[in-house]
């Protein structure tokens, strides 16, 4: 039974058991008699990497907004994570953040974050979700297609393939089916095969890549901070790096480069790349710390957005969420938080549905509001990416002008706690980007510019 005894449907299926799928499934357990999560991978019992989430080997920053939503969906989650070794830090005080030629002012701001590995976060959320009474998990099953009514107006189920080709469950039916299969989602093809248009796509080519390595954490090598962020210096400098604590007294070092300037995966090349960053903070640590893993690389060709909100016709009983809708340059750490915001939105849309029949309007209502969530994160990410020559695609209006202002804004944060605080609020998606343009903030940026030689 659902927890609020207000079931608006019998059965919901979520395809994909990563962050977007887990959070969507959690919300759906409040509104459907039962929920089935279908995942291609076998879930590990503990906080281990798995094939379907290769990005889990790289730094995963959990923005404050994402953590807040996850903690509402799973009360006590943050405490559990801290007990499991996640490191709590103050974005304003504990981060050594170098950008636009200087370090941000450091002070106790109280914008608290959690540093941890992606597998630890995912395993805790999964474990919490699977304790709910009305969830069933079907692992090692791949969704191969959609089943629709004869007139294709409503999606009624999915077809499945087990990895061993076993005959078992081969179709499932439901009132609502959610695609959370990530960037490689096949919804555009599946919808097309049912006679719908494919969603329009926005693609901003960045040719970005991350290379990451885990080290034993020795705080003596970084006495003054818990975490380091060295931003790139576009247009000429395309390289960035971050060092963050993980559970188990470890550090994750992630180096990243835009427009093909990718970090190497051999030890000397990785260290040399770290040495070539705008400052030596990360190099100084990782050249002396003990490595605990290989160096792994992940390439991200583009920011990709699928505009389901613009589709004139869309079948009933179907939704798409998470990276299947928008996948961003990971350098801005937004993906999991956008998934969480979409899960929260799904809950609000379902609360407005007075009856199962009302699910008919769900997709239009959901995609319209989800587009606003995506737009906020997209414009922050894409505008920054357009600082790099060679980035191509649809450029949001006034990007160059805004970027010039934002550079001056960053320079004001070297000494001004108020602008620095505003930055961390916007970056963590707990305030809208318009905060950076509030007259009070603009005045502080101008004043700080006048004070600089």
Ligand X SMILES: Cc1cc2nc3c(=O)[nH]c(=O)nc-3n(C[C@H](O)[C@H](O)[C@H](O)COP(=O)(O)OP(=O)(O)OC[C@H]3O[C@@H](n4cnc5c(N)ncnc54)[C@H](O)[C@@H]3O)c2cc1C
Determine if 233 is a binding residue for ligand X (CB under 6 A). no
DSSP 216-282: E--GGGSTT-SEEEE---TTT--EEEEEEEETTTEEEEEEEESTT-PPPSSHHHHHHHHHTSSSSHH
CB-nearer residue toward ligand X: 101 or 301: 301
The interface with ligand X within residues 98-157 (CB under 6 A) comprises 142-143
46: phi > 0 → left, psi -120 to 50 → alpha, else beta; which? beta
Determine if 61 is a binding residue for ligand X (CB under 6 A). yes
Q: How far is the CB of 46 from ligand X (least distance, A)?
A: 16
Determine if 9 is a binding residue for ligand X (CB under 6 A). no
Q: Which two tokens stand for residue 187?
A: 């919804």
| Per-residue contact flags (x/-) with ligand X for residues 184 to 223, judged by CB under 6 A | --------------------------x-------------
Helix, strand, coil percent values for the chain (each to nearest 5): 35, 25, 40
Q: How far is the CB of 13 from ligand X (least distance, A)?
A: 10
Q: What is the dihedral of CA 122, 128, 134, 140, to 10 degrees?
A: 30
Determine if 17 is a binding residue for ligand X (CB under 6 A). yes
Q: What is the dihedral of CA 73, 366, 199, 40, to 10 degrees?
A: 30
CB-nearer residue toward ligand X: 143 or 370: 143
**Given 8, 11, 14, 18, the residue binding ligand X (CB under 6 A):** 18
CB-nearer residue toward ligand X: 102 or 145: 145
- How many residues bind to ligand X according to rule CB under 6 A? 37
3-state secondary structure of 302: strand
Determine if 256 is a binding residue for ligand X (CB under 6 A). no
**Given 339, 412, 413, 419, the residue binding ligand X (CB under 6 A):** 339
| Per-residue contact flags (x/-) with ligand X for residues 275 to 314, judged by CB under 6 A | -----------------------x-x--------------
Q: How far is the CB of 422 from ligand X (least distance, A)?
A: 21
DSSP 304-365: EEEEGGG-S---BTEEE-GGGTEE--GGG--HHHHHHHHHHHHHHHHHT--SGGGGGGHHHH
The interface with ligand X within residues 30-59 (CB under 6 A) comprises 38-41, 52-53, 55, 58-59
CB-nearer residue toward ligand X: 178 or 436: 178
Burial class (CB in 10 A: 0-12, 13-18, 19+), 312: exposed
Burial class (CB in 10 A: 0-12, 13-18, 19+), 401: exposed
3-state secondary structure of 105: coil
Determine if 16 is a binding residue for ligand X (CB under 6 A). yes
Q: How far is the CB of 305 from ligand X (least distance, A)?
A: 13
Determine if 15 is a binding residue for ligand X (CB under 6 A). yes
Nearest to 262 by CA among 238, 290, 283, 291: 238
Residue range at the interface with ligand X (CB under 6 A); choices 19-27, 199-207, 373-381, 395-403: 19-27
Q: State the residues that interact with ligand X by CB under 6 A.
A: 15-21, 38-41, 52-53, 55, 58-61, 142-143, 180-183, 210, 298, 300, 322-324, 330, 333-337, 339
């Amino acid at each position: 039974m659902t927890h609020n005894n207000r079931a608006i449907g019998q059965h919901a299926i979520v395809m994909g058991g990563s962050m977007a799928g887990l959070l969507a499934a959690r919300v759906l357990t409040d509104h459907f008699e039962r929920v089935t999560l279908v995942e291609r991978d076998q879930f590990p019992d503990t906080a281990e990497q798995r094939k379907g989430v290769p990005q889990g080997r790289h730094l995963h920053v959990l923005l404050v907004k994402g953590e807040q939503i996850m903690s509402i969906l799973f009360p006590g989650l943050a405490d559990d994570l801290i007990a499991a070794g996640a490191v709590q830090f103050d974005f304003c005080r504990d981060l050594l953040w170098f950008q636009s030629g200087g370090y941000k002012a450091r002070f106790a701001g109280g914008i608290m974050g959690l540093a941890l590995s992606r597998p630890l976060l995912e395993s805790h959320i999964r474990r919490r979700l699977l304790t709910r009474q009305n969830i069933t998990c079907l692992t090692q099953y791949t969704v191969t297609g959609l089943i629709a009514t004869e007139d294709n107006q409503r999606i009624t189920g999915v077809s499945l393939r087990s990895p061993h080709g076993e005959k078992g469950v081969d179709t499932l039916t439901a009132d609502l089916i959610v695609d959370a299969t990530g960037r490689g989602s096949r919804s555009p093809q599946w919808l097309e095969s049912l006679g719908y248009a494919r969603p329009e796509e926005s693609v901003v080519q960045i040719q970005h890549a991350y290379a990451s390595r885990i080290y034993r954490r020795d705080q003596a090598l970084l006495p003054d901070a818990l975490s380091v962020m060295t931003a790139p210096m576009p247009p000429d400098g395309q390289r960035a790096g971050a060092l963050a604590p993980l559970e188990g007294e470890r550090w994750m070092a992630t180096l990243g480069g835009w427009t093909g300037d990718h970090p190497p995966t051999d030890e000397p090349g990785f260290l040399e790349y770290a040495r070539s960053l705008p400052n030596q903070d990360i190099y100084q640590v990782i050249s002396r710390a003990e490595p605990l893993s290989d160096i792994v690389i992940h390439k991200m060709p583009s920011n990709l957005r699928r505009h389901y909100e613009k589709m004139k016709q869309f079948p009933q009983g179907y939704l798409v969420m998470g990276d299947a809708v928008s996948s961003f340059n990971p350098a801005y750490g937004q993906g999991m938080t956008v998934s969480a915001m979409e899960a929260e939105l799904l809950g609000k849309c379902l609360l407005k549905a007075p009856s199962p029949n009302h699910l008919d309007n769900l997709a239009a209502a959901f995609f319209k509001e989800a587009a606003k969530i995506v737009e906020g994160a997209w414009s922050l990410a894409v505008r920054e990416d357009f600082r790099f020559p060679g980035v191509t695609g649809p450029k949001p209006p006034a990007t160059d002008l805004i970027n010039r202002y934002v550079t001056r804004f960053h320079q004001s944060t070297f000494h001004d706690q108020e602008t620095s605080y505003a930055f961390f609020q916007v970056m963590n998606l707990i305030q809208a980007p318009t905060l950076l343009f509030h007259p009070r903030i603009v005045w502080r940026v101008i004043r700080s510019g006048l004070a600089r030689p």
